[in-house]
Chains A and B, each alone.
Chain A
């Protein structure tokens, strides 16, 4: 048999039928959240039920408040937001779906909790009601986001129609310099291939840089695959993956563990497997990155300056840059480190795992926040772990706010939001216009860089603080 990629191996094993290149695939796990109300409405409209409730997992994350959670769902002040959480609780109960509800000690973001619980595993096909489902590819699974109609279909049938995407291998070799994080790697990749560079592809991240990364760092990279236009991103499973999996609540145990391990070990791309497209970066050349514009490819090393639209490659780019600068309230030629921020957000499914909070705390220790700075753990488990390690104390002493877990300011739907014109240094994944609140301005960066911005009040090269 010819050499296969990880993607091909997993894809093939999930094919149920094919019609003229449209493939019906088996879905191992479906992940939903409060916003899946449209999918449930569509199910109800057709009088259908969730066919495999044990394979659907529901998370309260997008709409939950990040303060004042003692009173649970009834403590949510805004009625429409409270209703969204209640509706999910009710739909999960009505269909017998496993729910990680607002009061659950394991509550958290739908891309943080499944890995923690061992729900995410190598070799699976996972569909989520959220584009950042690509996160789960860090385990060597095919994981992608879908809309409400497709989610309705998955819940009603446990299958999904797809066309086979092409494969893109992004290789990064070498060691990352101190102060450079996996967030910088993925921003650098997007800067190179562009926000549409991955459209139609599934990315496999390969090379020594990813091999050296922890699972958490790999998740940050895979998370933002969608920002490069790819549906999914993955890293082949290896010893790091297996060590992470062991002992998690949903992970196999005893003899089943050995059986699973044998299967997982067969998943890495074969020697000589070919990809439809290749890209490569040198790890040593990656610096701490920050976005300056309104999409994630508008990104530069922190040592850079705002580009001049007039020097853009073509008239179209020129207009695009000018519009971005206008929205962001920045001028061409300005050094990125001159940009003064109003707020800092450390959180989101990209960067709210324990390692992210540790990296931010290391920097927070060095000073005091000059602007409001929030730390929003990705889950209750991360929050408790952080508290056991005393990170909450470190942050509080440095003047940061330690909040309750959820999506929060990443998508500004739970009431946490920027005011028009406010500028935020954020560890989330999207710097789109209005993403963090109407008129809000977002600069994406790593957790350490975000903490650096908090204690200096401007975008700052964290390497200088760590020196």
Chain B
């Protein structure tokens, strides 16, 4: 996994709440293998006409084509568990999404791919979006070690993150190495569990 430490970059405001993973990656693109092709998949049906021409959408406008941060509203990434939604964000260049709440599964998928989901309050995200609308192309700094977001006006917003998630992101660790430390415990657990519920392991 790619680590995430900090980013200072152009931030794109996306005002609508409840942006679901189907918007981020329409279902038909799920079958595309991971890779650079996903850059075009992001918000595909909002960004492109059926014939491939660009529509007017925030990420199709300069300077937001170079955005690495999205400042969204509430309930970002609700809906389907598709991880391809995160591949699309990542390949487009997005490294951090700031919202007032996230679809749970999507937030987990972000962590597993080196993309930082930051939760700030409703008031903070709407204020930061207002700043971005006033000064298109303004940059935001996000620092994971400090757990801070610095908005275009220079105000500092602190965010919470679970210490284990933070460590994994900072070091680019995936879970498996961590899990393997518990293989002995798993073996013990399973012996007992199988004895307690023998019917679960017999097949049809």
A residues touching B (Cβ–Cβ < 8 Å)?
16-17, 19-22, 24, 26, 28, 35, 37-38, 41, 46, 48, 54-55, 63, 80-81, 83-84, 98, 117-118, 121, 123-124, 129-131, 144-150, 153, 156-159, 161, 163, 195-196, 199-200, 226, 229, 231, 249-253, 256-257, 259-260, 263, 295, 316, 319-320, 323, 411-413, 420, 430, 432-435, 438-439
Would you list the 3 A-B pairs with minimal beta carbon distance, nearest first? Answer: A252-B199, A149-B112, A147-B83
CA A98 to CA B201, docked complex, whole Å: 13
Q: How far is the CB of B121 from chain A (nearest CB, A)?
A: 14
Cβ of B82: which chain A residues have Cβ within 8 Å of it? Answer: 35, 147
- Show 21 A/B contacts (Cβ-Cβ < 8 Å), sorted by A: A26-B189, A26-B193, A35-B30, A147-B81, A147-B106, A150-B109, A157-B179, A158-B186, A196-B78, A257-B199, A259-B199, A295-B18, A295-B20, A316-B17, A411-B27, A413-B28, A420-B50, A430-B79, A434-B22, A434-B23, A438-B26
Closest to B46 in A: A433
B17 touches A320 (CB 8 A): yes
B75 to chain A, nearest CB (A): 4
Residues of A within 8 A of B204 (CB): 117-118, 249-250
Does B103 belong to the interface (CB within 8 Å)? yes
Contact in complex: A260, B50 (CB < 8 Å):
no
> Which residues from B are CB-within-8-Å of A148?
83-84, 109
Bound: A259/B162 CA distance, A: 40
Of B31, B74, B162, B180, which is within 8 A of A84 by CB? B31
User: Nearest-CB distance from A39 to chain B (Å)?
Assistant: 8
Q: With A200-B104, A411-B27 in contact, do A430 and B22 touch (Cβ < 8 Å)?
A: yes
A199–B101 touching, CB < 8 Å:
yes
Q: Are A16 and B189 in contact (CB under 8 A)?
A: yes
Given contacts A161-B179, A231-B105, contact A16 B86 (CB under 8 A): no
CA distance A214 to B193 in the complex (A): 30
| B171 contacts partner chain A, Cβ-Cβ < 8 Å | no
Binary per-residue interface labels of chain B (128-167) against chain A in the complex, 1 for a CB within 8 Å, 0 otherwise: 0000000000000000000000000000000000111100
Pair B185/A17 contact, Cβ less than 8 Å: yes
Q: A41-B34, A146-B81, A147-B86 are in contact. Are A438 and B50 (CB under 8 A)?
A: yes
B122 to chain A, nearest CB (A): 9
12 new A-B contacts, CB < 8 A, other than A26-B189, A411-B27, are A24-B179, A98-B203, A150-B109, A156-B176, A159-B182, A161-B178, A196-B78, A251-B199, A253-B199, A295-B18, A320-B17, A432-B79
Q: Which residues of A contact B52 (CB under 8 A)?
A: none
Q: A38-B84, A161-B175 are in contact. Are A196 and B101 (CB under 8 A)?
A: yes
Q: Tell me if B15 counts as interface (CB < 8 A to partner A).
A: yes
Which chain B positions have C-beta within 8 A of A439?
A: 45
Cβ–Cβ < 8 Å partners of A430 in chain B: 20, 22, 79-80
In the assembled complex, B62 has its CB within 8 A of some CB on chain A: no
Looking at the assembled complex, report how far the CB atom of B94 sits from the nearest CB atom of chain A, in whole angstroms: 16
Most buried by A among B27, B28, B109, B174: B27
Known: A147-B109, A199-B103. A412 touches B33 (CB 8 A): no
Given contact pairs A22-B162, A260-B197, A147 touches B23 in the complex (Cβ within 8 A): no
The answer to whether A250 and B203 have CB atoms under 8 Å apart is yes
Known: A131-B79, A149-B109, A195-B75. A433 touches B23 (CB 8 A): yes
Task: Find out whether the CB atom of A149 lies under 8 angstroms from the CB atom of B113.
Answer: yes
B108 within 8 A of A: yes
Q: Which residues of B contact A98 (CB under 8 A)?
A: 203
Number of interface residues of B (CB under 8 A): 62
Which one of A117, A263, A412 contacts B28 once the chains associate, using CB atoms below 8 Å?
Answer: A412
Q: Which residues of the partner chain A approach B108 to less than 8 Å between Cβ atoms?
A: 146-147, 150
Residues of B close to A145: CB separation below 8 A: 81, 105
- Least CB distance, A229 to chain B, in whole angstroms: 6
Contact assessment for B175 and A41 in the assembled complex, using a CB-CB cutoff below 8 Å: no
Q: B33's closest neighbor in chain A, by CB?
A: A41
CB–CB A229/B75 < 8 A: yes
Residues of B contacting A260 in the complex (Cβ-Cβ under 8 angstroms): 197, 199
Closest-CB distance, B13 to chain A (whole angstroms): 13
Chain A: minimal CB distance from B191 (Å): 12
Which residues from chain B contact A320 at a C-beta distance below 8 Å? 16-18
Cα A157 to Cα B118 in complex, Å, equals 29
Q: Nearest chain A CB to B140's CB is how many angstroms away?
A: 21
Alpha-carbon distance A129/B84, docked complex (angstroms): 12
Max chain B Cβ within 10 angstroms of own Cβ: one of A21, A35, A37, A98: A35
Residue of A nearest to B30 (CB): A35
- Give bound CA distance, A250 to B202, whole Å: 8
Q: A131-B81, A149-B83, A231-B105 are in contact. Are A35 and B31 (CB under 8 A)?
A: yes
Q: Give the docked Cα–Cα distance between A121 and B204 (Å).
A: 13
- Most B-side CB within 10 Å, residue of A38, A46, A118: A38
